[in-house]
DNA sequence: CATCGATGTTGAG
DNA sequence: TCAACCTCGATGG
């Protein structure tokens, strides 16, 4: 479920509360026992996200790679409060960050719980420590005062540095790690080479990292581009603007924890958008509804097993 | 309480 | 192209 922005926020959470600490690693579910044994008792030394992949480094240059897939989640609990907010300066240049709700761990009480998946939710405070694993916990990472439980991942494996490099090497550029001109050029060259529809290219993690079904639909709408256009037929300037818009939206997503894809001129607009969290997009999940711009009914196609939404009038 | 569907990826056929 | 993975909130009876 989570698109790139959530994974970067999870990586931050580990950087804040686990890096530098000795970690007791286990697999309460029993499906990752040997991997957990390799890591048990080591100190976490780094936390990075590339696209939708989370990489946690431990002593002896061992890495844990986790991909949440469509319904994986991390549950953090314990002393996860922090003086340093997950969000720092606001991308949009106003004081959007002032409206951060209680979903963030800022000022959360000791022994609170925080679930991080495509959404972030605070759960009731704990009364026992460490908490009993609930349900199918693939991996538990436990420090003196924090715990992270992983459930439902599509990938969870221990890797050597060269294996990490191999995984990262197959991924397209991630604007959060690399918003350089080279990254934009690489994305642009790849897209302009391919006959594949742009709607599929944006979802291809070897072309560009971190985009999922929501950002795909919204980026194409914002570019007023027909998702079926072959990559090689998209004007180069449009390809470049797609990249730059992804840089922009990803930064907003990482700062706010929300997939904000519309413009919010005033703070009130922004608050309303958060309140109507299930109807805050241009086209995503709006099949049959009138386009917010032109009133034409939004269409939906199945493309490579995923629902693709677009406005046939605005996007040509 | 049963069923459905989801912001993903892999691998079988 | 499609099922499997294996979780959980939303939906309907």
Write out the E strands in chain A.
24-26, 44-50, 53-58, 62-67, 73-78, 112-116, 120-123, 139-142, 146-151, 155-159, 299-303, 306-310
Lowest mean per-residue pLDDT among A11-15, A180-184, A241-245, A278-282: A278-282
Q: How far apart are CA A17 and CA A14, in angstroms?
A: 5
Look at residue A299 in the predicted model and tell me its pLDDT: 96
Nucleotide nearest to A203 (CA to C1'): B8
User: Average pLDDT in the A238-259 region?
Assistant: 95
The Cβ-side half-sphere exposure at A174, using a 13 Å CA radius, reads: 23
Q: Which bases of chain C come closer than 7 Å to a protein CB?
A: 1-3, 5-8
Q: Do residues A97 and A255 touch, judged by C-beta distance below 8 A?
A: yes
User: Average pLDDT in the A48-62 region?
Assistant: 97
CA of A66 to C1' of B9 (A): 12
Q: Do residues A304 and A199 touch, judged by C-beta distance below 8 A?
A: no
What is the end-to-end Cα distance of chain A in Å, rounded? 28
Look at residue A277 in the predicted model and tell me its pLDDT: 66
Q: For A253-288, how does the pLDDT look when each residue is reduced to its tens digit (9 = 90+)?
A: 999 899 999 988 788 888 777 777 667 899 999 999
Nucleotide nearest to A134 (CA to C1'): C7
SS3 A75: strand
pLDDT category of residue A247 using cuts at 50, 70 and 90: very high
pLDDT category of residue A90 using cuts at 50, 70 and 90: very low
> Which residue's C-alpha is at the least distance from the C1' of B10?
A154
CA of A141 to C1' of B13 (A): 39
Look at residue A119 in the predicted model and tell me its pLDDT: 80
pLDDT category of residue A110 using cuts at 50, 70 and 90: low
Look at residue A19 in the predicted model and tell me its pLDDT: 98
Lowest mean per-residue pLDDT among A29-33, A180-184, A230-234, A262-266: A262-266
Can you list the domains of chain A with their CATH numbers?
A: 4-168 (3.20.190.10), 173-310 (1.10.8.50)
Q: Which bases of chain B come closer than 7 Å to a protein CB?
A: 6-10
User: Average pLDDT in the A86-103 region?
Assistant: 36
Greatest Cα-to-Cα distance within chain A, rounded to the nearest angstrom: 59
User: Average pLDDT in the A295-299 region?
Assistant: 96
Q: For A5-15, how does the pLDDT look when each residue is reduced to its tens digit (9 = 90+)?
A: 999 999 999 99
Catalytic residue list of A = 2-3, 52, 306
Lowest mean per-residue pLDDT among A192-196, A273-277, A309-313: A273-277
Look at residue A97 in the predicted model and tell me its pLDDT: 36
């Amino acid at each position: 479920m989570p698109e790139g922005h959530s994974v970067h926020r999870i990586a931050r959470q580990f950087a804040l509360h686990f890096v530098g600490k000795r970690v007791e690693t286990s697999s309460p579910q029993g499906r990752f026992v040997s991997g957990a044994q390799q890591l048990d008792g080591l100190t976490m030394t780094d936390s990075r996200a590339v696209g939708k992949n989370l990489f946690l480094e431990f002593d002896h240059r061992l890495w844990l790679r986790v991909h949440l897939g469509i319904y994986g989640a991390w549950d953090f609990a314990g002393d996860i409060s922090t003086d340093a907010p997950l969000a720092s300066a606001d991308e949009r240049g106003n004081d959007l960050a002032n409206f951060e709700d209680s979903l963030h761990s800022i000022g959360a009480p000791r022994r609170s719980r925080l679930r991080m998946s495509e959404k972030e939710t605070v759960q009731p405070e704990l009364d026992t420590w460490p908490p009993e694993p609930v349900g199918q916990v693939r991996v538990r990472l436990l420090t003196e005062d924090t715990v992270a439980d992983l459930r439902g991942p599509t990938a969870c494996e221990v890797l050597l540095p060269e294996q990490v490099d191999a995984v990262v090497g197959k991924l397209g550029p991630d604007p959060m790690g690399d918003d350089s001109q080279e990254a934009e050029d690489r994305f642009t060259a790849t897209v302009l080479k391919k006959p594949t529809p742009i709607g599929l290219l944006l979802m291809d993690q070897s072309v560009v990292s971190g985009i999922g079904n929501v950002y795909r639909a919204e980026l194409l709408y914002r570019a007023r581009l027909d998702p079926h256009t072959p990559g090689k037929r998209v004007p180069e300037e449009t390809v470049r603007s797609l990249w730059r818009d992804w840089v922009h939206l990803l930064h907003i997503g990482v700062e706010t924890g929300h997939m904000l894809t519309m413009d919010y001129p005033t703070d009130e607009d922004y608050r309303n958008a958060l309140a109507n969290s299930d109807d805050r997009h241009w086209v995503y999940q709006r099949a049959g509804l009138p386009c917010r711009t032109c009133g034409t009914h939004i269409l939906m196609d199945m493309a490579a097993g995923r629902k693709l939404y677009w406005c046939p009038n605005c996007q040509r």
